[in-house]
């Protein structure tokens, strides 16, 4: 009996996992440092582009501009080929450190020749800078914290929006200067970063930061982003947080984003490790439970906004079996299918005729003939209707009931 109960529970949880869906307002999921010339020190290879590693469960990825003369065409096309749209970090085109008088200890200002630099960059990348290829320009890390004035920020936002109205504009502010933040109306996505917060859903200080950010939005089209604390550094160990425990942190960030209608996306800091210190772990270095949760969340969100058509059918279900066989009915169950994005339902056929669809991994069939052999086929479907090959099984209903003759006496 315990084995039967355990099998039923496993079937339920498998069905629940694949039935989950991200709320419609969540449309973006990805990571920092995907294509930014950062080599993760925790593997045995020299690697600075991680596009293929994240493509299966992301729809955006960070692409860094080192110099205004960079030709990004090949890198952008490669992301697009892998069903990703880049968010391009362009801050090196416009800003440079001026002195130490900013709140962070650094004060950045516009370069005197920023217009010429921008014109050069546009000319070199003319074929790739379109809304169909690029999701947004990431214009600055923590501008207020780093001493960038509102006038300068507004100037660059307006410049980019005027030149590329179909490419969105994003920046992140440091939580500590959110109260001083002023958001240009031409900006689209605004977020903030705050790390070492292990319970963002209930942390009153974090929730106050989020409320402050929302209050700073200056135009109806603007939405907010959350930066997931998706890394591990030795400091976290002093709070008794192991790398495995970061899965609960990631889950809370998703829960906060799912509950906030103004939140458009989540971006994980970060995919490769070793950027802030040699011991730092990125998601790719994390334990399996953390990686699995990132994959699950990313796939749910990617269903809401895939950058390219999904032409890949799910894998066929496996483990088709029968149960509760009676003269006029039986039930069938199977092991959940997998898909490049998400399996959404299963269609059951009896002798080639559809008996309907279900999001569960079992179905009861009734209205059958006794002592009759039936061919049962189950096919999986994804969110856009791609259907898998079927898995089939022959099932014979129980023998017909024998009626006792009526006693005439």
- Of 223, 152, 158, which Cα lies nearest the Cα of 186? 158
The neighbour count for residue 315, using CB atoms within 10 Å, is 15
- Whole-number pLDDT of residue 3: 39
Kindly report the length of the chain.
Answer: 409
State yes or no: pLDDT of 289 exceeds 80. yes
Provide DSSP, 111-149: -TTHHHHHHHHHHHTTTT-STTT--EEEEEESTTTTT--
Model pLDDT for residues 201-228, shown as the tens digit of each residue:
999 999 999 999 999 999 999 999 999 9
Model pLDDT for residues 352-397, shown as the tens digit of each residue:
999 999 989 999 999 999 999 999 999 998 876 789 999 999 999 9
- Whole-number pLDDT of residue 341: 65
- Whole-number pLDDT of residue 408: 54
- Whole-number pLDDT of residue 48: 85
Cβ 224 vs Cβ 262: under 8 Å: yes
Nearest-angstrom CA–CA distance, 380 and 378: 7
For residues 112-116, give the mean pLDDT: 98
State yes or no: pLDDT of 333 exceeds 60. yes
Confidence of residue 173 (pLDDT cuts 50, 70, 90): very high
- What Rg, from alpha-carbon coordinates, does the chain have? 27
Cβ 339 vs Cβ 56: under 8 Å: no
State yes or no: pLDDT of 32 exceeds 80. yes
Confidence of residue 9 (pLDDT cuts 50, 70, 90): very low
For residues 391-409, give the mean pLDDT: 79
- Whole-number pLDDT of residue 403: 63
Instruction: Tell me which of 52-56, 245-249, 250-254 is least confident.
Output: 52-56
Nearest-angstrom CA–CA distance, 12 and 297: 19
Higher pLDDT, 409 or 105: 105
Higher pLDDT, 81 or 265: 265
Cβ 289 vs Cβ 7: under 8 Å: no
Q: In this structure, what are the phi and psi dihedrals at residue 383, rounded to the nearest 5 degrees?
A: -65, -25
Kindly state the percentage of the chain with pLDDT values over 70: 92
For residues 323-331, give the mean pLDDT: 95
State yes or no: pLDDT of 53 exceeds 80. yes
Nearest-angstrom CA–CA distance, 91 and 146: 12
- Domains parsed from the chain with CATH numbers: 22-304 (3.20.20.80), 311-396 (2.60.40.10)
- Whole-number pLDDT of residue 404: 55
- Please give the distance of CA 44 from its chain centroid, rounded to a whole number: 27
For residues 171-187, give the mean pLDDT: 97
- Whole-number pLDDT of residue 271: 97
- Whole-number pLDDT of residue 15: 37
- Whole-number pLDDT of residue 308: 77
State yes or no: pLDDT of 10 exceeds 60. no
For residues 152-171, give the mean pLDDT: 98
Nearest-angstrom CA–CA distance, 22 and 166: 25
Asked if residue 270 has a cis previous peptide bond (ω within 30° of 0), the answer is: yes
Model confidence, pTM: 0.74
Nearest-angstrom CA–CA distance, 217 and 261: 14
Cβ 297 vs Cβ 254: under 8 Å: yes
Nearest-angstrom CA–CA distance, 368 and 329: 6
């Amino acid at each position: 009996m315990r084995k039967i109960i355990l099998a039923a529970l496993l079937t339920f949880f498998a069905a629940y996992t694949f039935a989950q869906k991200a709320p419609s307002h969540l449309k973006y999921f990805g990571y920092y440092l995907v294509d930014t010339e950062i080599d993760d020190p925790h593997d045995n290879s020299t690697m600075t582009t991680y596009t293929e590693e994240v493509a299966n469960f992301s729809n955006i990825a960070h692409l860094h501009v080192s110099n205004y003369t960079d030709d990004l065409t090949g890198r952008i096309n490669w992301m697009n080929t892998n069903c990703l749209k880049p968010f391009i970090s362009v801050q090196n085109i416009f800003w440079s450190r001026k002195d130490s008088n900013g709140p962070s200890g650094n004060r950045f200002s516009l370069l005197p020749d920023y217009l010429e630099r921008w014109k050069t960059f546009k000319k070199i990348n003319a074929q790739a800078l379109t809304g169909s290829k690029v999701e947004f320009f990431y214009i600055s890390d923590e501008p207020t914290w780093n001493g960038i004035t509102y006038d300068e920020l507004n100037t660059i936002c307006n410049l980019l929006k005027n030149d590329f109205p179909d490419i969105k504009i994003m920046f992140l502010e440091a939580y500590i200067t959110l109260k001083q933040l002023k958001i240009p109306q031409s900006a689209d996505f605004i977020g903030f970063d705050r790390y070492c917060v292990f319970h963002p859903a209930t942390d009153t200080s974090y929730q106050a930061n989020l409320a402050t950010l929302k209050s700073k939005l200056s135009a109806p089209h603007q939405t907010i982003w959350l930066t997931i604390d998706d890394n591990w550094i030795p400091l976290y160990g002093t709070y008794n947080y192991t790398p495995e425990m970061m899965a609960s942190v990631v889950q809370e960030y998703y829960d906060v984003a799912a509950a906030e209608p103004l939140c458009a996306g989540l971006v994980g800091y970060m995919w490769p490790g070793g950027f802030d210190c040699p011991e730092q772990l990125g998601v790719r270095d994390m334990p399996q439970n953390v990686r699995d949760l990132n994959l699950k969340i990313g796939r749910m969100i990617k269903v809401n906004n895939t950058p390219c058509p999904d032409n890949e059918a799910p894998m066929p279900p496996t483990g088709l079996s029968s149960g509760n066989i009676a003269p006029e009915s039986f039930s069938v169950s199977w092991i959940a299918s997998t898909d490049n994005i998400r399996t959404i339902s299963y269609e059951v056929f009896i002798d080639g005729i559809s008996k309907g669809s279900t999001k569960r991994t079992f179905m009861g069939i009734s209205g059958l003939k006794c002592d009759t052999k039936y061919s049962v086929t189950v096919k999986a479907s994804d969110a856009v209707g791609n259907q898998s090959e079927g898995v089939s099984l022959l099932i014979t209903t129980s023998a017909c009931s024998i009626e006792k003759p009526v006693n005439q006496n």
